Amino acid sequence: MAESPENQYSDVPTEEMEEEELLLDDSLSPLEKIFLYVKSDLVFHRVFIAKELPSLIRDVEISEAVEYVLPLMNSLGTDPEDHVREAFAPEVDKIIWFYYSHCPLRENTPDNVQGDNGSINSRPMTPQRPQTPQRPHTPQRPQTPQRPQTPIQQQLQQLPAQPQTPTSHLPYLSPAAFTPLLHALLLDQNTSIASAAQSAVQSLVERILEEPDVNPKEKELLEKETLEGVVLGIGKLDQEKAKREDLEWDADGDDTSVGAVAGGEEEAELGRMTMMTLISSLAPIVGAEKCARLFVPELDKMSDEPVFYVRKEAALAVGSLAGILPLEIITSKLLPIYDHFSTDPIWHVRRSCCLVLATICSRLPEEMKAERAVKGIELFAGDVSRSVRSAAGEIIGELIATFHPDGKVPESLVQHFLSLGPIRDTTIGITSVTGSAYNTGLGQRDPERPVICAYNFPAVVLTLGESRWDDLKDTYISLTRDMQIKVRRSLACSLHEIAKVIGPSKTDQDLMSIFRLFLDDMDDVKSGLMEHLAAFIECLPQNTRNDYLPSLNDVWDGVNHHWRLRDEIAKQIPELCRLFDSQNVINHILPLTIRAVRDDVASVRETAVASFPDLFKAVRNDESCYTDMIKRICEFASDSKFRSRVVFVQICNALVSKDYPKEEFARHFLNDLEKLASDGVVNVRIALARLVGELCRMEQYYQDSSSRPSQINNMLRRLAEDNDVDVRGFVFPYLSPEERSKFISSTIQAMAESAENGLPPISEESDIDNGRSITQETHDSTPIMTNLNNEEKNDTEKNKESRDMENGRDSDDPLDAIMGEIPIAFIRPNVIEVENNRSSSGLIVSSPPP
Amino acid sequence: MGLDLDACISQLLQKQLLAESLLKEICEKTKELLMNESNCVSISAPVTVESVGDIHGQFYDLIEIFRIGGYCPSTNYLFLGDYVDRGLFSVETISLLTCLKLRYPQRVQLVRGNHESRAVTQTYGFYTECVRKYGSTNVWHYFTDMFDYLTLSVVIDDRIFCVHGGYIDQIKILDRYREIPHEGPMADLVWSDPDPDKDEFSISPRGAGYTFGGLVVKKFLEINKMEHILRAHQLCMEGYQVLYDDRLSTVWSAPNYCYRCGNMASILEVGVDGQRFFNVFEAAPENDRDGPSQQTSLEKKDKIQYFL
């Protein structure tokens, strides 16, 4: 745009370019590439390799990957640049899994210490050489021929701590090989890196537990190491410190201390916190048995944990574990520590307790649940900390929902919930002590509270049921007038859910006015309604439904400026068809659909076109409506707008894709379709060719070439001779062998002629129907071949025509022989002028001032 | 078998990059194809064309264009240049457009813009993006070499002259297979702008090309017996601008340009009889999720509207 070319050349860093030129040498092996990029001084090189390592490493010999790439991973994981570690952390599980799935594992035992000359066993990051060459289940890798040594290879071999061994046999990997790396990433002071590392651990555990192809022995090793070494291990950094001192795991022997990690004590605290977070996220994955065995004892120790942010995570872990452990462990182990945390001096910890209250209650038997829920919400809603009080508001809906479907919800919970809504004029009913304690600071209301209230309303209505609606509706209605769009949007999205619970007559009485109100609201609110338009209308009594139907046109008008909302309505058409009788479908839904297929936006047209099979279904049993529908559709075929003619073909296509009866299809549509084979606008013919191709491909229509009706054969022939390559491409595979050979011989002849004449000028008139010349057919033949090839690949169905074609090409098909060598000049599309050829216009204007 | 363009296109529609070696082959083949196009490609009637202005690497907005105008080969497209630079996804954008051109040479026309140039892309983002996404400059070389072969203008049905910038002189005898020079007719074609306050030519504030007034346009159309000039190159807040008694239109197809200008965009539909309709649109919603202020944590919150 507005940039001047004068500064175009300003900031091309020349030395950077040279460096890249060095690196983009195609002759580099993947290993060399990895090595050079990791060692590059340019940050973006290291970022690039951090992201690409999972795919590049697949091309590296496994023994080399263990020997050379593995140490480089530590250098990426401790890179001084945040960007590099940020790029690396989300990929690390994929790389680790590559090793796990390609390399046999062996635990560190005194046995194989010997075998490794004792030198590298103390470094768990370093691979161990196997004593026996191969394990039976690992694939044998052929020894790669030794290439001449490049400078890079020499460099690689000079790496310290790299045993000078041949790389031909598989090394063993210690299951603990990646534990220090994962710990370093998990403890990274950059929280986005730490949380990416947590996700990596999580997906690693998932894979270890779920991947079917892992051998049971290795699975056990990996599971043990990941859960105990990585997860529990990070909570015991102080105990393991002495050991850790040995683990100098940077291959270069650089200063390896994990720079980003703070000193000893703090690191241990961070480690315990991370362990709790990991327990929370892993609990549902590892299942009850491992949770009880491995994780519960860790939580047990947490009651005298001195650091509050560790306790904060521990309280959340209590909730997570409660979600899967049996009741007996919950009551004996988890509830005591939960109660202990609930009165913690630090509000963060109490807030965590509040946030998991619903999860815990959901696991308790009815009476205990009611008691805990009431006591819990009283406690947290009356907390001295505002954060804890607002957390109580956030969870109240979820807490009430735990009583669904047949529990009795304690009344104080309901009142708590209602107190989140806008303040009502009358305060009838809200006299409970808990309610007022909860509502501290009336007047200066938290704007988030109505949002939370609106968000939870459907769940509360569902739990309390239709009978309590009258107690809830005042709050509900005042919420619908809230100033905040997100409150109204949430309500608009869920209106149909409320309607389902309260039934047709109350929906009509209480929600219809809200529905109309939201239809005139902002787009964000409107779209909430549109997404569930049919579902809401379904909840209305039948007579109201029918009365409402004509307003659909107004609804469409109301979203004239916003195509996604129109698309949303169009998506509802099939559902709407099911809600009305055939007369209403013809009188109201069909006109709306026709409006939609004339839309300016292609997506809206496509959505509406796709609803025609459902429209037909809705009127199928009403003969006059059915005939009417066909008449209205066929009007599109002779519409003066080309787009309507395309729509006609597309509607036929939609019907065919839903198995519209063949005889009826032939009777109602084939004649109109045939006329379009010579339509002046190429886009119509493309749509038609696509449809005809489909019809000839599908067994239930016209796959059998011997019984094709004349209209189909005429269209096939005509479209196959079309002067547009994209039209021909769709139908060519379905021609009869004779027709194809006729086509081929004319092509050969045309090629011979054009070869004699050199490049023939292409006349502009030729694009229009009858001006087709032999030369043009020549031009476009090669793309047809491309298309054929695609057909062959994609079409797995037993298509006789296609197979014939394939066989033909395997033999000495002249088409194959000649088409393969058509010079590019011949495939030049005929609508494009030849350079400097007799131009229609001079294109000359006066020259600009000098 | 050889190149599976349909697979490439569906991969790119998912916004997944193609392999470097594939792009090399695609660019080579596209060069061969473009080499045979005239400096002034003529599209004959009856035909309808969706004409698209600057896109500038705003990949999601290109997809929005397909949602609005329809996909290839059902719809014919004329792209008026400036496919790369500025936006976050120049590589994806130009990869997709190139594959579409190669797969449907008759359905898709690609005109060269001032950003389809080595010099400009080195400064405004495409170069850096290629290096960041492919780790080397190879892909940038493939594409910028291919740019040298792009046509400079299209004439629809002998009535509408379509070009990226605007000024035109002896276009047919130009040797276009080269980097866009600093000055001269080729630079003028991709750099010039209309000036509604002038009648004749003036110096352009851009430092390249000229500005041209209503008289120049009128004279050009008369001499060449045409009706209209269609061009891109300039941001229009409404998505388009019509000047000089409906003799010249600017179409702009990058909504919320650079993810912050707040402008509308449009594509111009040229109908069978030369009717023109500007289909105006806004930025695609995906830009909020995968744009410059990418915040994946917000995504979940956006989706769930209520609790049940």
CATH number for the domain spanning A88: value is: 1.25.10
pLDDT at A545: 92
Q: How would DSSP label each residue in A1-20? A: ----GGGTTTT--HHHHHHH
Q: Give the DSSP letter of residue A334.
A: I
Residue B258 touches partner A, C-beta closer than 8 Å: no
Cα nearest neighbour of B109 on chain A: A832
Q: Strands B210-212 and B265-270: what pairing? A: unpaired
pLDDT bin (cut points 50, 70, 90) of residue A660 is very high
CB atoms within 10 A of CB A316: 23
Residue A817 pLDDT more than 70?
Answer: no
pLDDT at A412: 93
User: Of A12-26, A164-178, A291-305, which one has max mean pLDDT?
Assistant: A291-305
Look at A848 and B223 and tell me if their CB atoms are within 8 Å.
Answer: no
pLDDT bin (cut points 50, 70, 90) of residue B299 is very low
Residue B256 pLDDT more than 60?
Answer: yes
Residue A785 pLDDT more than 90?
Answer: no
pLDDT bin (cut points 50, 70, 90) of residue A758 is very low
pLDDT at B273: 83
The average pLDDT across A278-285 equals 96
Look at A832 and B131 and tell me if their CB atoms are within 8 Å.
Answer: no
The partner residue sitting opposite B182, judged by closest CB among A5, A37, A497, is A5
Residue B153 pLDDT more than 60?
Answer: yes
Chains A, B: CB pairs < 8 Å: 220
pLDDT at A322: 97
Q: Most distant CA pair in chain B: distance in Å?
A: 69
List C-alpha distances in Å: A635 to A606, A625, A658. 18, 15, 22
Look at A681 and B46 and tell me if their CB atoms are within 8 Å.
Answer: yes
Residue B244 touches partner A, C-beta closer than 8 Å: no
pLDDT bin (cut points 50, 70, 90) of residue A143 is very low
The partner residue sitting opposite A833, judged by closest CB among B42, B68, B76, is B42
Percent of residues, chain A, with pLDDT higher than 70: 72
pLDDT bin (cut points 50, 70, 90) of residue A88 is very high
Task: Give residue B14's domain range.
Answer: 5-299
On whether the pTM is more than 0.80, the answer is no
Residue A153 pLDDT more than 60?
Answer: no
Residue B219 touches partner A, C-beta closer than 8 Å: yes
pLDDT bin (cut points 50, 70, 90) of residue A750 is low
Q: Which residues of B are catalytic?
A: 115
Chain B: closest CA distance from residue A460 (Å): 8
pLDDT bin (cut points 50, 70, 90) of residue A667 is very high
Q: How would DSSP label each residue in A468-524? A: GHHHHHHHHHHHHT-S-HHHHHHHHHHHHHHHHHHHHHHIIIIIHHHHHHHHTS-HH
On whether the CB atoms of residues B205 and A834 are closer than 8 A, the answer is no
In a domain, A63, yes or no: yes
Q: Considering only CA atoms, which of B297, B217, B286 is closest in space to residue B62? A: B286
Percent of residues, chain A, with pLDDT higher than 90: 59
pLDDT at A550: 87
Looking at beta carbons, which residues of chain A come within 8 Å of B76? 682-683
- Helix or strand or coil: residue B203? strand
The partner residue sitting opposite B106, judged by closest CB among A6, A47, A726, is A726
Look at A528 and B70 and tell me if their CB atoms are within 8 Å.
Answer: no
The partner residue sitting opposite A843, judged by closest CB among B6, B171, B235, is B171
pLDDT at A426: 44
pLDDT at A751: 63
pLDDT at A391: 95
In a domain, A802, yes or no: no
The average pLDDT across A697-717 equals 93
pLDDT at B301: 40
- Cβ neighbours of residue A245 closer than 8 Å, sequence gap 6 or more: none
In a domain, B307, yes or no: no
Report the length, in residues, of chain A. 850
Q: Is A557 exposed, middle or buried (0-12, 13-18, 19+ CB in 10 A)?
A: exposed
Amino acid identity of B271?
G
Chain B: closest CA distance from residue A49 (Å): 8
- Structurally, how many domains does chain A consist of? 1
Residue B289 pLDDT more than 50?
Answer: yes
Instruction: Compute the distance between CA of residue A236 and CA of residue A241 in angstroms, rounded to an integer.
Output: 8
Residue B108 touches partner A, C-beta closer than 8 Å: no
Residue A823 pLDDT more than 70?
Answer: no
Chain B: closest CA distance from residue A216 (Å): 36
Task: Give residue A176's domain range.
Answer: 20-105+171-230
Look at B305 and A528 and tell me if their CB atoms are within 8 Å.
Answer: yes
CA A459 to chain centre: 27
Residue A559 pLDDT more than 60?
Answer: yes
On whether the CB atoms of residues B66 and B102 are closer than 8 A, the answer is no
Look at B137 and A528 and tell me if their CB atoms are within 8 Å.
Answer: no
The average pLDDT across A327-333 equals 96
Looking at beta carbons, which residues of chain B come within 8 Å of A837? 38
List C-alpha distances in Å: A546 to A531, A576, A758, B71. 20, 11, 71, 37
Residue B36 touches partner A, C-beta closer than 8 Å: yes
pLDDT at A238: 80
Residue B254 touches partner A, C-beta closer than 8 Å: no
The partner residue sitting opposite B306, judged by closest CB among A490, A726, A768, is A490
Look at B306 and A457 and tell me if their CB atoms are within 8 Å.
Answer: yes
Residue B74 touches partner A, C-beta closer than 8 Å: yes
List C-alpha distances in Å: A70 to A49, A158, A775. 14, 16, 62
Instruction: Compute the distance between CA of residue B307 and CA of residue A717 in angstroms, rounded to an integer.
Output: 58
pLDDT at B145: 96
The average pLDDT across A184-200 equals 95
- Structurally, how many domains does chain B consist of? 1
Look at A824 and B188 and tell me if their CB atoms are within 8 Å.
Answer: no
pLDDT at A587: 94
- The 10s digit of each residue's pLDDT in A345-378 is 999 999 999 999 999 999 999 999 999 999 999 9
Looking at beta carbons, which residues of chain B come within 8 Å of A845? 168-169, 216, 219-220, 223
In a domain, A205, yes or no: yes
In a domain, B306, yes or no: no
The average pLDDT across A280-302 equals 95
Residue A126 pLDDT more than 80?
Answer: no
Looking at beta carbons, which residues of chain A come within 8 Å of B169? 844-845, 847-848
Looking at beta carbons, which residues of chain A come within 8 Å of B106? 724-726, 829, 831
ipTM: 0.93
The average pLDDT across A778-783 equals 32
Looking at beta carbons, which residues of chain A come within 8 Å of B201? 848-849
- Cβ neighbours of residue A428 closer than 8 Å, sequence gap 6 or more: none
Q: Specify the DSSP element, H or E, that contains B210.
A: strand B210-212
pLDDT at B305: 73
Residue B252 touches partner A, C-beta closer than 8 Å: no
Look at B305 and A489 and tell me if their CB atoms are within 8 Å.
Answer: yes
Q: Specify the DSSP element, H or E, that contains B161.
A: strand B160-163
Look at A602 and B67 and tell me if their CB atoms are within 8 Å.
Answer: yes
Looking at beta carbons, which residues of chain A come within 8 Å of B225? 841
- Mutate one of B44, B128, B159, B266 to test the A interface: name it (highest A CB count within 10 A): B44
CATH code for the domain of B17: 3.60.21.10
On whether the CB atoms of residues A831 and B106 are closer than 8 A, the answer is yes
The partner residue sitting opposite B306, judged by closest CB among A7, A10, A458, is A458
Q: Specify the DSSP element, H or E, that contains B231.
A: strand B228-231
Q: Which residue has the higher pLDDT, A791 or A548?
A: A548
pLDDT bin (cut points 50, 70, 90) of residue B170 is low
The average pLDDT across A492-510 equals 96
Find residues 15-34 of chain B whose CB sits inside 8 Å of chain A: 32-33
- The 10s digit of each residue's pLDDT in A432-469 is 434 444 444 444 468 889 999 999 999 999 999 999 99
Look at B36 and A828 and tell me if their CB atoms are within 8 Å.
Answer: yes
Mean pLDDT for all residues in chain B: 90
pLDDT at B1: 52
The average pLDDT across B293-303 equals 46
pLDDT at B168: 66
In a domain, A187, yes or no: yes
Look at A681 and B105 and tell me if their CB atoms are within 8 Å.
Answer: no
pLDDT at A405: 86
In a domain, B308, yes or no: no
